[in-house]
Amino acid sequence: KGIDREFYLLFSIFDENDSWYLNKNIEAFTGDPSKVDEKDADFMESNKMHAVNGYLYGNLPGLTMCKNDKISWHLIGLGSHYDMHGVHFQGNTINLRGITRDGLALFPHLSGTALMQPDRVGTFKVVCRTFDHFVGGMKHLYEVSSCRNTTRAQQQPGTMRIYYIAAEEIEWDYASNKSSAPKIYNISSFEERVKKKKVKNATITSLRNKILKGSKYPQEFFLKTSWPLLHAEVGDSVLIVFKNKASRPYSISAHGIEE
């Protein structure tokens, strides 16, 4: 109810090495069947099809919708312990249990439903971000069209917000607070190494708890290693001036909003 279109996506690795028709396929599609080693690792890997609904490399048909439609994505995982998928939607965000995001984790023999109301027209990717699955063909396209004349409600003009962001290279000390480091330098046993790690982990956890409880450590201290927060409200325009001061190329992109 209240849904314009529904899509069902089954993410699974189909192992054609277990097919009843493996020998027939070898005879039909190889130049010299006698030279095919069914136990060869590369041959066996080539027969594993990283598929969505049985399709690979953008061949899945029918993923079309209109801008501002209410879409329900029903995602299903099936297979073995190799079928751990990180499903990612490009271009538009999804709503999963009340949280706005761009992807979700999908484990074998589990399913989930994500809602989407696309506000961008174009062709976008829906893929599995698990590297082997992505390279193996678990990537497809969905298309959003401007199907009908939709006029947006008149909005009050928002504020122009300008942010200046730079990419800089710095030397980072992962253990800048040496006061809590254990006084063990000549580690000769596995037990001592474990003790040393436990001391460091406990110190980090304690420091985080102090920050979150609002102690003398400012909240910004905990955010120094993350991307800067850009604040805006609905209807605002955001201008980002990006300067790359590093020694290698970097770029930024806006995800889930109109550029």
pLDDT in tens, 212-228: 344 444 444 444 445 66
pLDDT averaged over the chain?
75
The residues assigned a catalytic role are 128
Kindly indicate the confidence band of residue 192, based on its pLDDT and cuts at 50, 70 and 90.
very low
pLDDT in tens, 4-56: 889 999 999 888 888 888 888 888 888 788 888 878 888 888 888 899 988 99
Answer for the pair 83, 11: CB distance below 8 angstroms, yes or no.
yes
pLDDT of residue 183: 54
Tokens coding 150: 């939709």
pLDDT for the residue numbered 44: 84
Centre a 10 Å sphere on the Cβ of residue 211 and count the other Cβ atoms it contains: 17
Residue 33: name the closest of 23, 43, 42 by CA.
23
Name the pTM for this structure: 0.61
Which segments of the chain belong to CATH 2.60.40.420? 5-145
Q: For residue 127, what pLDDT band results from cuts at 50, 70 and 90?
A: very high
> Which residues lie below 8 Å from residue 20, measured CB to CB, with a gap of 6+?
none
pLDDT surpassing 90 at residue 100: no
| Confidence class for position 178, pLDDT limits 50, 70, 90 | low
Which is higher by pLDDT, 161 or 234? 161
Q: Rounded to an integer, what distance in angstroms lies between the CA atom of residue 15 and that of residue 222? A: 46
* 137 Cβ contact partners less than 8 Å away, ≥ 6 residues apart: 49, 50, 51, 56, 57
CATH code given to domain 5-145: 2.60.40.420
Cβ atoms within 10 Å, residue 122: 14
